[in-house]
Structure formats: structure tokens, C-alpha cells
């Protein structure tokens, strides 16, 4: 009788767990696998039968061939520049102790969370638009923080005594760096480089806005083929090329990171930091601070300055509907906030369910199931925003799921982009929960569901709040996917900025700067809310 009841309870718990995993699986199957499948179908079976001639046509076209080459090239050069500027910065911020360092560390991350359209607007404000240099600098601006955080994070904990040992054994500064420090940093540098390369490879907003009509990458070309030339087949084939390249890049980066050297002797950061000593160290610090100020500070400051050429008229101007617009740009602010709330809710529900399901599967050693689900929820990271937007455009325009007239399609696309981040923030926290806490709760009389509510949920809740802040910021700034599916009467703020930037005239320009400043402030607020919640005793993010 007792055993029977236990078995019944086990069955209902199992059903709940399956339901938990079903939420992300169903969501991603419908909103990710189906659209990607539709792109593949359109690319290789244009008439219903297998036909790969489209690939030949694309690669026979010298213009398109050039675009594929340029996409790789600009990503590689952007990555090299970012590493060259970022590695010294990482050293300064992780090894030197100076006044204002923790504030500077926080500020350096700001560009990374800024929407691409704001970054583009900031570089236009500098007056370097429609040039390769602008693109490369904007990519460096954007990704500087990735290098500082990833490489600096390791550098701060690297045991300085191995370097001191090398010096005592007779190696010079440069030799020590090359033979001791650099090999130890290699995993972090490889990780940072592969992430930066991926971001630059799939960069859309920056290239669309700063590249002008002459510079194009796979991402922007997919958009042009779709929106301007209505050539959906070529767009589909380019999407497939893009997808293959991105998956290859992810594979290479996984391989590079997998080859970590033997365990490093890591120290607490407080042991490795020291004040800069000697004029060389101080000059090195000053040079790096100057790079940070010039690269990261100037564009933002100039953008804000150019939003107020004659007081705040550009901001008030946002309330009026200009010619060619169906609503005043200020409405886009409310639209974006509304979408961000919905997108955050969707991302938290789907990502949270995925995180709990993944944690449970790995606890029960269901490796296969865990790996499959993990790959599925991480897939949106590999599928570029443009692919998502294009896939949505060609999938949800007819029965069985016609979302053309539903505003929900945009928050859904935003949530899709945010889900991997939610999972990556929440999952480690759940996995880090000491299993004995659950056991202790059970011994004290909590039944399984109560254990979940009393232990897992409150501990995960703080991580979920942090994830919510990220998801909100991601939704606010999402540009690539939105541009494909946005309706003219309900424009999001990034799309409104893009349209304002595309209009001639000084007034429109100031308005674009004003709208960008608003978007930047909103993003910064949601990220700052996160920073306030970052509390050490639950885990570091």
C-alpha cells in the first residue's frame, strides 16, 4: 500500500519533470528548428525537388564570392585588433592596483552590452561612417570587454610566482612573458578570440549602418537579398553558408578551449595585484587608460553631445511624427519596453525550465538527454539574428502558424536570442547547489516539491533576476531579427534609430542621436539593476 503510493508519487514527479523539459523543446522546435528547416528547404529544394544549382550560382557570382571572403576577413582582422588592444588592457586591469580600478572595470563592460545600433550611431557621431575603419573600430569597441573579462579574469588569478621563478632563473621580461605567461593564458585568449570572431562574423547592425551600400557581409547581404531584391532563394543559400561557417567556428573554438593545459596554480586576485612601480609601469598604465578613453569613451560622449546641439530640442522632436513615419519615434520607446517585458518573461519561463531540466538530467546522469537538450538551447547562439529573422519571415507568414499580424512574433524572436544567456546564467547556480541541502530539507520533513520550492527556487531566483536583466537588455537592443519582421506601425527603438539615421538632414541626425542616447540609458539601467543584485554568496557571474 505504502509502496504503491510511493510509486504513484514517483510517476507524477516524473511527469512533471518531462513537462519541464517539454517546454523548451517545444518552443525551440517551433520557433527555431522549423524556421531553420524552412530556410534549408528553400535553399536546397526550391521547386519541391532537390536542386543544388543555387549554390553554384552563388559561388559563380564574383560579387557574392567576395562577400563570403570579406566576411571572414573582416572578422579575423577585427579579432586581431581587439586582441592587440585588449590583452594589454586585461593586464592593466587585472594586475595593477590603482585608484578607480573597480569602477573602470565595470565601465569597460558597458560597450559590450550596448545595442549594436547605438554603437553604430556613436561611430557615425564620430564622423567615420561608411568605411572599413569604422567597422573594425566599432567591433573593437564592442568586444574589448570580452578580452578584458575573459583574459583578465584568468590573469588576475595566475600565480605570479611562476613568472618570478623564470626571472630568477635568468629570463628577461619579454622572454618570461612569451615562455611562461602567454602559454598559461592561451586557453583564455583562445576562448576570447573565438567568441570575438563569432560576434564579428555575425555582426549585422554595425556593418549595415557603418558599411554603407558598398560594404557587405553575409549577414547584411541576406537582408539585402530579402528586403531590397526579394531574392529569397539566394538569401536562403547565403543563410546556409552562414550557418555552416558559424557551426564550424563554434567547433573550432570548442576544440581550442578543450585543449586546456594541465591545471594552473591559481591564486586569489588580491595576491597577484600590485601598484605600478617605476616610470615604465606607470607609462604603460597611462597608455592603456588612454586607449580605453579614446576607444570606449569618445564615441559615447560624442554621441550624447551631438544629441543636444541646440538644447534638448531633438528629444522633444521625437514626439512628433515626421514625414515617412506612421508614428512619432518616442512611441518606439514604449513599444520596445513592452516587447522587452514580454520577451523577458518568455525567455525566463523557457530558459528557466530548460535549466531545471538540464540540472536534473545531469544529476541523474542522463548524459545523452542532457547533451541533446543543452545543444538545442545553445543553438540560438550559433544561429545569427538575421537567420532567425529571415526564418521567421518565410515560416510564419501562412497557415498553420500565421503570425504576420501578431505583435507577439517580435518578443518571441527576442526571447529566442536571450534563452541561451538565461540558461548559461541560471544553470550553473542550480548545479552548484550542494545536494546535501536538499537532503537536509527532506530529513527536516519537506516533501520533494517543497524541497524544490524551499531550496532550488530561492537559490535560483537571484540568478533568474540577473538573467532577466540581461534578457531585458538583449530585447531592448535586438536589431537584426527585428528588422525582418517588424511592422511599420509598431517599430522598436533600434529600428526607429536605423530609420532616423537613414534620413537626410541635421534634425533627423540629432533625433537619431537622442533616440540612441535614450536606448543606451535604458540598457544601462537594466544592466545596473543586475549589478546591484550581484551578491557574492550565491555565486559570481
Q: Which is nearer to another protein, 13 or 316 (CB)?
A: 13
Q: Which is nearer to another protein, 458 or 502 (CB)?
A: 458
DSSP 275: -
DSSP secondary structure of 187-247: HHHHHHHHHHHHHHHT--HHHHHHSTTT---HHHHHHHHHHTS--HHHHHHHHHHHHHHHH
CB-based burial, 29-59: b 16+ in 10 Å, e otherwise: eebbeebbebbbebbbebeeeeeeebeeebe
CB of 429 to another protein, least distance (A): 11
Q: Which is nearer to another protein, 90 or 441 (CB)?
A: 441
8 A C-beta contact, residue 115 and residue 523: yes
8 A C-beta contact, residue 510 and residue 516: no
Q: Which is nearer to another protein, 92 or 455 (CB)?
A: 455
Q: Which is nearer to another protein, 106 or 535 (CB)?
A: 535
Grid cell digits, residue 240: 546556409
CB of 441 to another protein, least distance (A): 7
Element (H, E) at 73: helix 62-95
CB of 465 to another protein, least distance (A): 13
Q: Which is nearer to another protein, 14 or 29 (CB)?
A: 14
- What are the CA-CA distances from residue 38 to residues 33, 34, 49, 117, 232 (Å)? 8, 6, 14, 28, 11
**Can you give the binding site for another protein, defined by CB under 8 A?**
1-3, 5-6, 9, 434, 436-437, 439-448, 450-451, 454-455, 458-459, 537-538
8 A C-beta contact, residue 513 and residue 303: yes
CB of 455 to another protein, least distance (A): 7
CB of 450 to another protein, least distance (A): 7
Q: Which is nearer to another protein, 375 or 444 (CB)?
A: 444
8 A C-beta contact, residue 157 and residue 95: no
CB of 355 to another protein, least distance (A): 17
- What are the CA-CA distances from residue 465 to residues 72, 163, 337, 420, 476 (Å)? 37, 40, 17, 15, 16
CB of 526 to another protein, least distance (A): 24
CB of 93 to another protein, least distance (A): 28
Grid cell digits, residue 252: 573550432
Q: Which is nearer to another protein, 99 or 436 (CB)?
A: 436
Amino acid at each position: 500500500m505504502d509502496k504503491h503510493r510511493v510509486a504513484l508519487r514517483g510517476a507524477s514527479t516524473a511527469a512533471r519533470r518531462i513537462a519541464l523539459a517539454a517546454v523548451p523543446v517545444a518552443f525551440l522546435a517551433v520557433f527555431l528548428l522549423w524556421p531553420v528547416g524552412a530556410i534549408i528547404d528553400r535553399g536546397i529544394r526550391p521547386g519541391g525537388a532537390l536542386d543544388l544549382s543555387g549554390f553554384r550560382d552563388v559561388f559563380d557570382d564574383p560579387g557574392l564570392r567576395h562577400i563570403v571572403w570579406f566576411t571572414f576577413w573582416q572578422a579575423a582582422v577585427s579579432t586581431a585588433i581587439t586582441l592587440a588592444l585588449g590583452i594589454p588592457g586585461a593586464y592593466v586591469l587585472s594586475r595593477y592596483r590603482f585608484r578607480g580600478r573597480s569602477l573602470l572595470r565595470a565601465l569597460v563592460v558597458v560597450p559590450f552590452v550596448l545595442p549594436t545600433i547605438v554603437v553604430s550611431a556613436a561611430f557615425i557621431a564620430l564622423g567615420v561612417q561608411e568605411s572599413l575603419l569604422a567597422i573594425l573600430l566599432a567591433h573593437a569597441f564592442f568586444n574589448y570587454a570580452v578580452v578584458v573579462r575573459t583574459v583578465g579574469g584568468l590573469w588576475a588569478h595566475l600565480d605570479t610566482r611562476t613568472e618570478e621563478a623564470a626571472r630568477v632563473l635568468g629570463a628577461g621580461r619579454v622572454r618570461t612573458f612569451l615562455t611562461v605567461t602567454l602559454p598559461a593564458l592561451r586557453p583564455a585568449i583562445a576562448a576570447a578570440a573565438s567568441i570575438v570572431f563569432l560576434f564579428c562574423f555575425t555582426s549585422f547592425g554595425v556593418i549595415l549602418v557603418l558599411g554603407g551600400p558598398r560594404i557587405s557581409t553575409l549577414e547584411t547581404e541576406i537582408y539585402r537579398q530579402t528586403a531590397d531584391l526579394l531574392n529569397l532563394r539566394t538569401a536562403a543559400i547565403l543563410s546556409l553558408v552562414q550557418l555552416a561557417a558559424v557551426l564550424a567556428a563554434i567547433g573550432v573554438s570548442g576544440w581550442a578551449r578543450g585543449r586546456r593545459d594541465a591545471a594552473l596554480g591559481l591564486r586569489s586576485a588580491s595576491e597577484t595585484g600590485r601598484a605600478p612601480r617605476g616610470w615604465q609601469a606607470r607609462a604603460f598604465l597611462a597608455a592603456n587608460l588612454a586607449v580605453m578613453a579614446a576607444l570606449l569613451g569618445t564615441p559615447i560622449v560624442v554621441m550624447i553631445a551631438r544629441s543636444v546641439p541646440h538644447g534638448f530640442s531633438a528629444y522633444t522632436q521625437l514626439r512628433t511624427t515626421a514625414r515617412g513615419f506612421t508614428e512619432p519615434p518616442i512611441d518606439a520607446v514604449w513599444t520596445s519596453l513592452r516587447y522587452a517585458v514580454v520577451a523577458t518573461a518568455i525567455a525566463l519561463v523557457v530558459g528557466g525550465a530548460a535549466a531545471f531540466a538540464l540540472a536534473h538530467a545531469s544529476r541523474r546522469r542522463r548524459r545523452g538527454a542532457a547533451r541533446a537538450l543543452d545543444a538545442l538551447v545553445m543553438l540560438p547562439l550559433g544561429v545569427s539574428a538575421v537567420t532567425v529573422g529571415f526564418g521567421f519571415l518565410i515560416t510564419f507568414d501562412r497557415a498553420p502558424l500565421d503570425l504576420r499580424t501578431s505583435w507577439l512574433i517580435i518578443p518571441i524572436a527576442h526571447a529566442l536570442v536571450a534563452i541561451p544567456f538565461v540558461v548559461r546564467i541560471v544553470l550553473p547556480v542550480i548545479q552548484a547547489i550542494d545536494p546535501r541541502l536538499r537532503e537536509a530539507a527532506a530529513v527536516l520533513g519537506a516533501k520533494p516539491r517543497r524541497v524544490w520550492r524551499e531550496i532550488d527556487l530561492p537559490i535560483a531566483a537571484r540568478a533568474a533576476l540577473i538573467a532577466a536583466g540581461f534578457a531585458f537588455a538583449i530585447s531592448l537592443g535586438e536589431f537584426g531579427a527585428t528588422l525582418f519582421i517588424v511592422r511599420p506601425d509598431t517599430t522598436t527603438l533600434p529600428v526607429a534609430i536605423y530609420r532616423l539615421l537613414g534620413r537626410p538632414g541635421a534634425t533627423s541626425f540629432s533625433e537619431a542621436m537622442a533616440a540612441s542616447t535614450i536606448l543606451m540609458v535604458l540598457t544601462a539601467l537594466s544592466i545596473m539593476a543586475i549589478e546591484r543584485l550581484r551578491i557574492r554568496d550565491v555565486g559570481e557571474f
